Amino acid sequence: MKKLSMKQQYHVMTRDLDWDPTYVERNQIYPYLEFEGIKVHDWEAWEDPFRLTMASYYKYQAEKDRRLYAVLESFEQNQSHLRLSDGRYINNMKVFLSGLTPVEYAAHRQFAFLARHLGGPAPRFSALLQSIDELRHAQTQLHTFNLYNKYYDGFDNFRHLFDRIWYLAVTKSYIEDAMTAGPFESLIALSFSLEYMLTNLLFVPYMSGANFNGDAATTTMGFSSQSDESRHMTLGLEVIKFLLEQDEANVPIIQDWVDKWFWRGYRVMALVSVLMDYMLPTPFMSWKESFELYFEQQMLDGLFPDLEYYGLTRPRHVDIAIAEKDHYSSNVYWALYQWNYVTAFHTWTPSDAHLDWLSSKYPDTFDRYHRPKWEKAKRIAEGGGRYYNPSVAPQCQVCVIPPVFTEPGDPTRLSVRISEYKGDRYVLCSDGCQWIFEREPEKYIQAPMPTNQLYRGNLGGPTIPEVVAWFGIDEGVQNHDYLMSGDARSWEEWHATGSLIGGK
C-alpha cells in the first residue's frame, strides 16, 4: 500500500476527525467565540504548515526529551556547575525559575482551554500540542534548575514567590491579563505578540549567552523549548493572518490587541534586558544588539511589511521602545540593585571590566548617564557599605514595574504618568502603559499593586522584615548582595578546595 504524504496524513489524522454537531447548537459547544466582536466565516481556511499528527508529534518530542535529559545527566555527573563562568551566574536561573516557569505552566492551562474552545479543528489541534509543549517546558525547566537547587540557595520556593513578590508580579500580571481576556485576544497576546514577536529575545540570544557562560544544561533546555516555540510562532503568525483575512471588521480590533500586547510583552522583556546586560558574568550580546537583530530587523522590517497588506500597522509606542533601548537594562538593574533586600536573588556591583563592556556596547550613553551611578555604588561598597534605597516605590498599574524608566527623549527625567479614574489616581510608567490603562480601566483597577497592599497592611506587617518574610524570602540567605551570600562562600570554598564540602 502506498504511504500517505505528510499533507494527506495530517488531513486524515487531524482535521478529518472533526464532525458537525447534529443535536446541539454550535454556539452551545463553543460559547466564547462571539463576544469579542471577531468574525470568522470559514474555519476550514486555517492552515497549519507543520502538518503534524499525534504520532509524529510524540515521536519528535520524545527525541527532544531524550537529547535534553542526556545532557542534564551529563551535567550532573560531571559537576558542570563548577565550570560556570562565575557563581553570580546562578542568579540568572533564580529569576528564570521564579519569574518564567510558572508562566509556562499557566500557558499550558490557557492552551488547554483554547484546544477545547476554538471553532475549528486545525487551530484546536495546534493549541492542544502547544498545551502539551508548555507543560513540557515547565517540567524540563524544573528538572534543569533542580541541578542547581542541590548546591545553591533560592530555588526551593519559586511557586510561593511567584504569587507574592513585587517584581514577579510583572510576569504574573502579564499571563493573568492574557488568561482573563477572550480566546482571540489571548491568542494575539500569547501566540502572536509573545511567541512570534518577542520570545526570541529570551530564548535565542540569551540562551546563547547561557552557553557562553558554561551552562550547557540551560542552553539545551532553552533550545529544546524553543524548537517547540518555532511551532508556536507559526501558530501566532497563522492566527493573525487568518483573523485579518476572515473579515475586514476584525482589523481594528486586532490592531488594538497588537498595540496592547506588544507593549505588555516588551515591558516583561525589561527583565530579560537585565539578564543580558548585567547578570551574565561573561556578557555575550547586549540588549540593544539583540533587540535590533531579533525585533527591529526581523519583526519591524521583516514581518510588518507583510501585515501591511491587511491594513495592520506597526505597534503603537514601538518608537518609545526603540528610543529607550540604550537605557532599558540600566534603569531596571539599578532598581533591582537598590531594592535587593526585597528580592529572592542576589545582585552585585558590576566589575570594572563589565562596566567597560557596557561602555563599548552603549558608547553614546552609558558613560554619561549610567556609569557614574555604578562608580558611586562601587565607592560605597569599597568603604564596606552597600547602597540601598530604603523607601518603597509605587508600581505602574499596568506592567507592575515601579516607574524607573526615563523619558524617551531625556534620560535624566523619570517617566511617570498619572491617570484619574472614578476619583482615584493611578501611576503609570509610560505612554504605552497609560494607553492600555485608559482603554480598559475597569480591568486594571482590580490589579493589587504590591506597594498599595503593603500600606494596607496586607503583606504581613508594616516593617521590612515582616514584608520580606511574607514574600517568602529567606532573609540573609536569598536576598542582598552576592558578596554577602552563602552562594559566594560556597563557590570560593569549592574552587579553593576542589571539593563540594560546605555550601548549601
Secondary element (H or E) of residue 427: strand 424-428
* Residue whose CB is less far from another protein, 96 or 426: 96
E strand or H helix at 418: strand 417-421
Cβ 187 to another protein shortest distance, Å: 17
419 beta partners: 426
Query: Which one, 7 or 456, has the nearer CB to another protein?
Result: 7
Is 265 among the residues that bind another protein (CB under 8 A)?
Answer: no
Stretch that binds another protein, among 80-88, 125-133, 134-142, 297-305 (CB under 8 A): 297-305
Q: Which residues contact 86 (CB under 8 A, 6 or more apart)?
A: 213, 281, 282, 491
Cβ atoms of residues 336 and 98 within 8 Å: no
Q: Does 226 bind another protein (CB under 8 A)?
A: yes
**Least distance between another protein and beta carbon 190 (Å):** 16
Asked if residue 230 binds another protein (CB under 8 A), the reply is yes
Q: Does 211 bind another protein (CB under 8 A)?
A: yes
Interface residue with another protein among 93, 114, 175, 237 (CB under 8 A) is: 237
Residues 302-341 that bind another protein (CB under 8 A): 302-303, 305-306, 308-311
Pick from 107, 118, 188, 233 the residue near another protein by CB under 8 A: 233
Helix H or strand E segment including 411: strand 410-414
DSSP letter (8 states) at residue 389: -
CB of residue 106 to another protein, shortest distance in Å? 22
Min dist. Cβ of residue 249 to another protein (A): 14
User: For another protein, which residue of 120, 154, 183, 209 counts as binding (CB under 8 A)?
Assistant: 209
Check binding of 502 to another protein (CB under 8 A). Answer: no
Q: Which of 40, 64, 167, 348 binds another protein (CB under 8 A)?
A: 64
Binding mask 271-290 for another protein (x = CB under 8 A): -------------xx-----
Half-sphere CA count of 488, side-chain side, radius 13 A: 15
Rounded to 10 degrees, the C-alpha dihedral 239/244/249/253 comes to 50
Q: Is 50 in the site for another protein (CB under 8 A)?
A: yes
Among 205, 236, 411, 486, binds another protein (CB under 8 A): 205
Other residues' Cβ atoms within 10 Å of the Cβ of residue 402: 23
Our CB check for another protein shows the closer of 7 and 413 to be 7
Size (the chain), residues: 504
From the list 94-102, 153-161, 202-210, 430-438, the region that binds another protein by CB under 8 A is 202-210
- What Å distances lie between residue 364 and 9, 361, 369, 394, CA to CA? 56, 9, 9, 30
Give the shortest CB-302-to-another protein separation in angstroms.
5
Per CB under 8 A, which region of 51-59, 144-152, 153-161, 454-462 contacts another protein? 51-59
Cα 149 from Cα 292, distance rounded (Å): 35
- Separation of alpha carbons 414 and 157, rounded Å: 34
When asked if residue 7 is in the footprint of another protein (CB under 8 A), the reply is yes
CA distance 475 to 467: 10
234 binds another protein (CB under 8 A): yes
What single DSSP character describes residue 311? Answer: T
Which amino acid is it at 396?
C
* Selected range binding another protein among 29-37, 92-100, 176-184, 219-227, rule: CB under 8 A: 219-227
3-state secondary structure of 425: strand
**Residue with C-alpha cell 554577602?**
484
Applying CB under 8 A, does 69 fall inside the site for another protein?
no
**Closer Cβ to another protein, 208 or 453, answer by number:** 208
| Helix ranges restricted to H, 30-188 | 54-77, 90-99, 101-117, 121-149, 158-164, 169-179, 183-187
Residue pointed to by grid coordinates 494607553: 435
Q: Please pick, from the candidates 203, 242, 341, 362, the single residue that binds another protein as defined by CB under 8 A.
A: 203
Q: How many other CB atoms are found less than 10 A from the CB of residue 355? A: 18
Distances (CA, A) of 30 to 33, 94, 180, 422, 455: 6, 40, 17, 36, 43
Closest residue by Cα to residue 471 from 344, 303, 346: 344
**Minimal distance, residue 86 CB to another protein, in Å:** 16
Judged by CB under 8 A, does residue 33 bind another protein? Answer: no
Q: Does 207 bind another protein (CB under 8 A)?
A: yes
Backbone angles phi, psi at 343, to 5 degrees: -125, 155
* Residue 428: strand pairing partners: 417
- Smallest distance from another protein to CB 309, Å: 5
Provide the minimum distance between the beta carbon of 298 and another protein in the complex, in angstroms, as a whole number: 4
The span of 54-62, 81-89, 352-360, 422-430 binding another protein (CB under 8 A) equals: 54-62
- When asked if residue 389 is in the footprint of another protein (CB under 8 A), the reply is no
Per CB under 8 A, does 269 bind another protein? no
Q: What is the DSSP letter of 327?
A: T
Report how far residue 333's alpha carbon sits from residue 272's, in angstroms, rounded to the nearest whole number. Answer: 10
357 binds another protein (CB under 8 A): no
Contact flag: residue 63 with another protein (CB under 8 A):
yes
DSSP 188: I
Closest among 319, 260, 271 to 295, alpha carbons compared:
319
Residue ranges that bind another protein, judged by CB under 8 A: 5-7, 49-52, 56, 59-60, 63-64, 67, 200, 203-205, 207-209, 211-212, 219, 223, 226-227, 229-231, 233-234, 237, 284-285, 297-299, 301-303, 305-306, 308-311
